[in-house]
Amino acid sequence: MIKSLYDYNQTMASDLNNHNCQNLESWLWEAACSIRGEIEAPKYKDFIIPLIFLKRLNDVFEDELTNISSIREIALAMVNADHKLVRFYIPERSRWNNITEQKVSLGEYLTSAMRDLARENPRLLGVVDQNDYNEATGGSRTISDASLKKLLEILSCKRLGLKDIDADVLGNAYEYLIGKFSEGSGKSAGEFYTPREVAELMGRILDPDPGESVYDPACGSGGLLIRTYSAFVKKYGSDSTLNFPKLFGQEINRLTFAMAKMNAIIHDIDAEIKIGDTMERPAYTNPDGSLMQFDKVTANPMWNQNFDPGQLKNDHYDRFPLGIPPKSSGDWAWIQHMITSSRKRVAVVLDQGSLFRGNDEEKIRSAVIAADLVECVISLPEKLFYNTGAPGVILIFNKSKSASQRGKILFINASSEFGKHKEVRKLNQLYSENIERIADTFETFQEHEGFSITRSNEEVLKQNGSLNVTLYVSQMISEEQIDIRSVLSEIKDIEGLIDDVNEKLDSYMKELDYID
């Protein structure tokens, strides 16, 4: 008897009632925790994230088969003959039910299944085939078959198909999971993750128009690109006739590059992500060898990154015409690369020291200010980032300022715009009202006492080109009104209580013959 696809999917979801799947995020974290302790937190994201991605691809594949024919065998025969009928063709070995039914050598089988999937889908080369689920160190498996089996069982409890869950909802949960991994990754977290709320604010700031291109030269897991895309959808809607922004990114770390690619696909967003060292060999160039330009550019690069000044001096892309930053901090190398790569606006998250450090950085900073490229500087609260408690800053540059904003810089002191992080006690978090206030002030370019102010380029240059926000706008500290009469009265009452205590103490001491 031919089995219907409906029955097949019901079989796949048979574990649903055997697991406590309260919501998508807690379910994903439950899956992650099932292997927690066996391998270090920074590493186990490399194992679980590709498996969630594989589950999504499999469930979408099954949904696409349903759309082709209600009879599974007929649909499979058509897809086997023409792989273009589906987004990603899942070969027999890589199908979820075949993986979960493995009784022995699960890690070895899973590794082969991932590599088969990549071979059948060139877009996934270097994305899902990076991990060896059978790897061992010193004769001991990194993750045992028993743990892999448990992980697969939990992931089998929910379908992640097109009709089961919206791409954006799944994508948000996927980013949530990346964020949770960041909590345990210490300083390395900054290499792949920007807190979602900061990314959301950056998306509001970039404000891409229909058809514009957006580029991140240090894209990590792709959060800034995706939040910028989401800002567009929130503003313009998701009608398929819209000319959506085109996303481009480059990432140096191969595993983080894979995360970025998966992140975009999970969100159902078309993004071109390339691997490589942006400073040494930028991936996006024109036929004549010059840097390709994009409408909007965003990044959260490594702060105070060490660079070889000699390498920058011999740059083949003319990216550093304003000067070479010191070896100890490449912040203004990143900024110059981003400005060179942009046609319009740039938004970058950096350490606050980049605003006021002297010598070579001061010369570069002053040249950028004199060129009227600085649009806004936003100081952020402390303890927003997983890898440092230091407060960051968002620097915004613009090659197409409006007439009313030319020659001016807006400074926003948002250092108090935060609440306590809802999950990580040691961290702070931008709440929606904080994001709204900061973004609205930037968009309207308005001054608010104790929060924002505009200064001319000339005024800033007189301050040695310092862009330190607190130099121009200090937050208002409300002083408590003190009632002197009330305070004096309280002091007298306290003095009276002290006299009473002293009298009782003297009485007790006399009774004990300690005093006459």
The two tokens of residue 513 are: 């013959």
Average pLDDT over residues 202-215: 97
Query: CA 372, CA 397: separation in Å to the nearest integer?
Result: 9
Res 195 pLDDT > 80: yes
Q: What angle (nearest 5°) sits at the alpha carbon of residue 494, between those of residues 488 and 499?
A: 125
- The pLDDT value recorded for residue 424 is 73
Give mean pLDDT, residues 256-280.
Answer: 92
> What does the block give as tokens for 284?
């996006």
Please say if the pLDDT value at position 390 is more than 90.
Answer: no
**Mean pLDDT for the stretch of residues 338-367:** 95
Task: Name the least confident of 229-238, 280-289, 412-421, 473-482.
Answer: 473-482
Lowest pLDDT segment from 36-40, 209-213, 267-271, 277-281: 36-40
Q: Which region among 206-220, 259-273, 297-311, 475-489 has the lowest average model confidence (pLDDT)?
A: 475-489
Among the residue ranges 30-44, 264-278, 432-446, the one predicted with the least confidence is 30-44
Mean per-residue pLDDT, 140-169: 86
> What are the two backbone dihedrals, phi and then psi, of residue 86, each rounded to the nearest 5 degrees?
-125, 160
Residue 55 has pLDDT above 80, yes or no: yes
d(CA 155, CA 161): 13
| Residues 41-57, mean pLDDT to the nearest whole number | 82
Q: Which segment of 36-50, 100-114, 403-417 scores lowest on mean pLDDT?
A: 36-50
Return d(Cα 106, Cα 120) in angstroms, integer. Answer: 21
Per-residue confidence band for 342, with pLDDT thresholds at 50, 70 and 90: very high
DSSP string for residues in 228-259? HHHHHHHHH---TTS-PPEEEEEESSHHHHHH
Mode of pairing for the β-strands spanning 213-216 and 428-429: unpaired
For residue 81, give every residue at least 6 positions away whose Cβ sits within 8 Å of its Cβ, in sequence order, or none.
none
Q: Establish how many alpha carbons lie within 13 A of residue 484's alpha carbon, considering only the half-sphere containing its beta carbon.
A: 0
pLDDT above 90 for 455: yes
Q: Taking the CB of residue 347, how many other CB atoms lie within 10 A of it?
A: 29
Name the more confident of 502 and 37.
502
DSSP codes of every residue in 124-182: GTTTTSS--TT-EETTEESS-HHHHHHHHHHHTTS--STTTS-HHHHHHHHHHHHHHHH
* Mean pLDDT, rounded, for 393-415: 96
- Does the pTM of the predicted model rise above 0.85? no
CA–CA dist 118, 174 (Å, integer)? 21
SS3 455: strand
Answer whether 365's CB lies under 8 Å from 373's CB.
no
pLDDT over threshold 80, residue 104: yes
**What confidence tens digit (pLDDT) does each residue in 213-256 have?**
999 999 988 989 999 999 999 999 989 899 999 999 999 988 88
417 and 437 in contact (C-beta within 8 Å)?
yes
pLDDT in tens, 328-341: 889 999 999 999 99
* Tokens 């020291």, residue located: 353
Mean pLDDT over 350-379 rounds to 95
Q: For the residues 74-94, what does the mean pLDDT come to?
A: 95
Which of 46-50, 202-206, 378-382 bottoms out in mean pLDDT, i.e. has the lowest?
46-50
Sheet strands side by side (includes 452-456): 271-275, 246-251, 213-216, 294-299, 342-351, 392-398, 374-379, 408-413, 452-456
Counting beta carbons within 10 angstroms of the beta carbon of residue 153, is it exposed (0 to 12), middle (13 to 18) or buried (19 or more)?
A: middle
The mean per-residue pLDDT over the stretch 407-430 comes to 90
Task: Place 143 in a pLDDT band, splitting at 50, 70 and 90.
Answer: confident
| pLDDT (average), residues 128-141 | 88
Mean pLDDT of the chain: 86
Note the pLDDT tens digit of each residue in 3-16.
343 343 444 343 33
Determine the Cα–Cα distance for residues 5 and 290; give it in Å rounded to an integer: 52
CA distance 399 to 303: 24
CA dihedral sign, ordered 250, 256, 261, 266:
negative
**CA 208 to CA 214: how far, in whole Å?**
8
What percent of the chain stands above pLDDT 90? 59
Higher confidence at residue 397 or residue 159?
Answer: 397
Give the residue, 123 or 188, on which the prediction is more confident. 123
Confidence of residue 56 (pLDDT cuts 50, 70, 90): very high
What per-residue confidence (pLDDT) applies to 4?
A: 41
User: Which of the four pLDDT bands, split at 50, 70 and 90, describes residue 138?
Assistant: confident
